[in-house]
Amino acid sequence: MDKIRRMDRLVILAKYLTNKPSHLYSLGEFADVFGCAKSTLSEDISLIRTALESSGAGTLETIAGAAGGVRYLPCRPDSAMHEILVKLAAVFSSPDRIIPGGFLYMSDVLFSPEQMVEAGEIFFQRFAPLAPDYILTVETKGIPLALMTARAFNIPLVMARQGNKVTEGSTVSINYLTGSAKRIQTMSVSRRALPAGAKVLVIDDFMKAGGTARGLIDLASEVGANVVGTGVLIATDQPEKKLVDDFTALLMLYKIDEVSKQIDIRPAI
Amino acid sequence: MDKIRRMDRLVILAKYLTNKPSHLYSLGEFADVFGCAKSTLSEDISLIRTALESSGAGTLETIAGAAGGVRYLPCRPDSAMHEILVKLAAVFSSPDRIIPGGFLYMSDVLFSPEQMVEAGEIFFQRFAPLAPDYILTVETKGIPLALMTARAFNIPLVMARQGNKVTEGSTVSINYLTGSAKRIQTMSVSRRALPAGAKVLVIDDFMKAGGTARGLIDLASEVGANVVGTGVLIATDQPEKKLVDDFTALLMLYKIDEVSKQIDIRPAI
């Protein structure tokens, strides 16, 4: 009977923990749900940690003390991370993705929940040591990536808007120069969404000259928040000098050739 | 030894299955990963199903045949679904959410991964019998909700854009009348994103007169796709007559009073 109970608990615990990455559950919560002792749960958690780690599916972190508990951290071996990026690069390399004007059609991937979950977890793994409090992005196409990154960290996503929106209440806005098209645009963020002093991780789908990322960094500093890192799914190789000094791209785009129908895109980490 | 192996398998299987709702895994895939017989895996799956169902955390569906396999379906008992909506309504009822002009500040909730996962799973549970092929939404604020709904269904999310975007390739666009503000706007969708004949579920964050949802339905029919259902997180009680006949709202907003600082919002299902 106890064996069956343990198996049920392992399944439910594995589900709860891995479905909410970085979410801290107290052992007391689980003890109430399962009607068992915390010492029994500690054994369960140790079994789950071993199973996850041995299959490269992440790990559990236990935090001692009254405010402590256990949480799932979605970490992969470097080889598994690399494999994901190689596959993603292959998807983006398909010649039928070239759009007149030399653009890359990306929307299907950017709006694929499964692929954005994986990319978000890779950002988590890269940026976890910086311990950000908020993810910041700007509408529109980077939202799913930023949302899944926020999910992996279990922190709020804040979205800057193009222009000013009446439904956001009081906002702070800046003007910024889009790096590639050299146009002046406005972006704004709700005052109540991003407090002064917050540590912010900027996430976006694409970086060419870095104007948008620069704008997000300026916007964050305008509300007194601190950008601790910048992550993009794809950065272009050129221009080499970007408007932000320090960023992590998962993929680097070297070439799109409309005539020869060639796309050269490769993992960048 | 076999006991330990089974526990490891249960944890990993529970993680894989529940982390990708509606994703069909073949038993052969798992047999390769674990190096065990399919009959053993069938026992594991039966144990996992029992554990999930007994705790109201969803179920597993097995599909027989060569193209068959097993997948996780995120279903909750009605009482648990209702509890989630009661809590959500309480969050939205906070008087400090009233923005000058009588708007409701929703962005923090709309961009919360955990809350949108739950709402997306509720839409899955309501609309699963309609078997949609695509989720369709329009930028911006409904994207996380639509993305998490697409995740629960394991189907692609298609996003219509305001106006026309050069990075989407060839598009189809329509003009529509926003129901409340009575302005004419344009929305467009990439031709390659949504094929003719597709069954489409429209998801959006907010419905007042229903102009945006009406626009999405017209846009879908313009590409030859069929809208099989419409789901919104919040609908307003007034106007009673909307521009769409048939929709499911999770919450109904009856009143926002700027003077008395009262918000009346309640679960609608």
Compute CA distances B234 → A71, B88, B227, whole Å: 32, 11, 19
Terminal Cα distance for chain B, rounded: 48
- Which residue among B12, B51, B113 sits closest to A55, beta carbon to beta carbon? B12
CA–CA distance, A106 with B250 (Å, rounded to integer):
31
Domain end, chosen from A50, A73, A96, is at A73
CA distance linking residue B49 with residue A58, whole number of Å: 23
Percent of the residues in chain B that have a pLDDT greater than 70, as a whole number: 97
Interface test with B, best of A6, A13, A15 (most B CBs within 10 A): A15
Strand stretches in B30-133, DSSP E? 59-63, 69-73, 98-99, 103-104
Identify the domain boundary among B45, B73, B101: B73
Average pLDDT over every residue of B158-183 = 83
B:108-147 residues touching chain A, CB 8 A cutoff: 108, 111-114, 116-117, 139-140, 143-144, 147
Q: How far is A24 from chain B (nearest CA, A)?
A: 13
Nearest alpha-carbon partner for B122 in B62, B78, B157, B70: B78
Query: Which residues neighbour A229 within 8 Å (Cβ) at sequence distance 6 or greater?
Result: A127, A130, A132, A201, A202, A246, A247, A248
Which CATH number fits the domain that encloses residue B52?
A: 1.10.10.10
Give residue-wise pLDDT tens across range B199-254.
999 999 999 999 999 999 999 999 999 999 999 999 999 999 999 999 999 999 99
Together in a domain, B51 and B86: no
In contact, A19 and B18? CB cutoff 8 Å: yes
Domains identified in chain A, total number: 2
Helix (H, G, I), strand (E, B) or coil at B150: helix
Other CB atoms within 10 Å distance of the CB of residue A4: 11
CATH code where residue B90 lies: 3.40.50.2020
B1 falls in which pLDDT band (50, 70, 90)? very low
Asked if residue A76 has pLDDT above 90, the reply is yes
Span B81-129, pLDDT tens digits: 999 999 999 999 999 999 988 899 999 999 999 999 999 999 999 999 9
| Domain termination site, one of B21, B41, B73 | B73
Structure tokens at B81: 């679904």
**Coil, strand or helix at B61:** strand
